[in-house]
């Protein structure tokens, strides 16, 4: 079995394998079953190393591009629903929990309308009713929540 590297596994094929690899690695780490050979253990380590380096970089770039596109194209005004229905915003939500740190960084950099994306992805809503509508207070609530959840900002 050949070692998995960036060279012999193109990035377009690597990205879809990320979740499968992560789940396999987590399962292996939890169970540490004797049925896994040293060769398979080495392959899992190789996959984990490549993915841990390449995927976050790709994810960060994709997130930044979508966030910039949304910022340029989003409808302005008071209708938040129109803003969050923009395709770039929806694609960010579709990226799932892996983008939560990027969303929190965006809020720390500049409070904005990332609250519904965070709520859709995490299922949480740390904003108290008195702060609703106040972007700065809402951002602070989410940033505090993120720190308590262990996200590094």
| Dist CA 42 CA 48 (whole Å) | 10
| Dist CA 12 CA 53 (whole Å) | 15
Residue 83 and residue 127 in one domain: yes
Q: Total domain count for the chain?
A: 2
Query: Residue 101 corresponds to which tokens in the numbers above?
Result: 């740190």
Domain that holds residue 89: 74-153
Residue 81 and residue 146 in one domain: yes
1 assigned to some structural domain: yes
105 assigned to some structural domain: yes
**Domain ends where: 26, 55, 84?**
55
Is the sign of the CA dihedral 10, 25, 49, 36 positive or negative? negative
DSSP 8-state assignment for residue 37: -
Residue 103 and residue 137 in one domain: yes
pLDDT in tens, 48-89: 666 666 667 788 899 999 999 999 998 887 688 888 999 999
Q: What is the pTM of this model?
A: 0.65
pLDDT confidence of 35, banded at 50, 70, 90?
A: low
- The residues, ordered by sequence, that sit 6+ positions from 28 with a Cβ below 8 Å of its Cβ are 36, 41, 44
Residue 102 and residue 35 in one domain: no
Query: Are the beta carbons of 5 and 46 closer than 8 angstroms?
Result: yes
Instruction: Give the rounded distance of the alpha carbon of 88 from its chain centre.
Output: 14
Q: Identify the burial level of 106 via C-beta atoms within 10 angstroms of its C-beta, where 0-12 means exposed, 13-18 middle and 19 or more buried.
A: buried
| pLDDT given for residue 64 in this prediction | 94
Q: Identify the burial level of 110 via C-beta atoms within 10 angstroms of its C-beta, where 0-12 means exposed, 13-18 middle and 19 or more buried.
A: exposed
Give the closest residue to 67 by CA, choosing from 121, 16, 120, 105.
105
What does the chain come to in residues? 153
65 assigned to some structural domain: no
Residue 39 and residue 97 in one domain: no
| Dist CA 95 CA 102 (whole Å) | 11
Residue 87 and residue 140 in one domain: yes
Residue 78 and residue 128 in one domain: yes
| pLDDT given for residue 90 in this prediction | 95
Residue 144 and residue 81 in one domain: yes
Higher-confidence position of 109 and 29: 109
| pLDDT given for residue 42 in this prediction | 78
128 assigned to some structural domain: yes
């Amino acid at each position: 079995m050949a070692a998995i590297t960036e060279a012999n596994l193109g990035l377009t094929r690597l990205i879809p394998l990320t979740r499968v690899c992560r789940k396999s690695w987590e399962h292996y780490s939890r169970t540490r079953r004797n049925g896994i050979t040293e060769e398979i253990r080495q392959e899992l380590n190789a996959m984990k190393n490549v993915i841990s380096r390449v995927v976050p970089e790709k994810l960060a770039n994709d997130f930044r591009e979508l966030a910039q596109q949304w910022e340029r194209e989003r409808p302005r005004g008071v209708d938040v629903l129109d803003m969050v229905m923009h395709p770039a915003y929806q694609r960010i939500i579709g990226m799932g929990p892996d983008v939560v740190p990027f969303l929190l960084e965006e809020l720390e950099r500049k409070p904005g309308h990332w609250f519904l994306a965070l709520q859709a992805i995490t299922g949480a809503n740390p904003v108290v009713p008195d702060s609703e509508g106040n972007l700065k207070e809402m951002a602070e609530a989410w940033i505090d929540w993120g720190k308590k959840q262990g996200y590094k900002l």
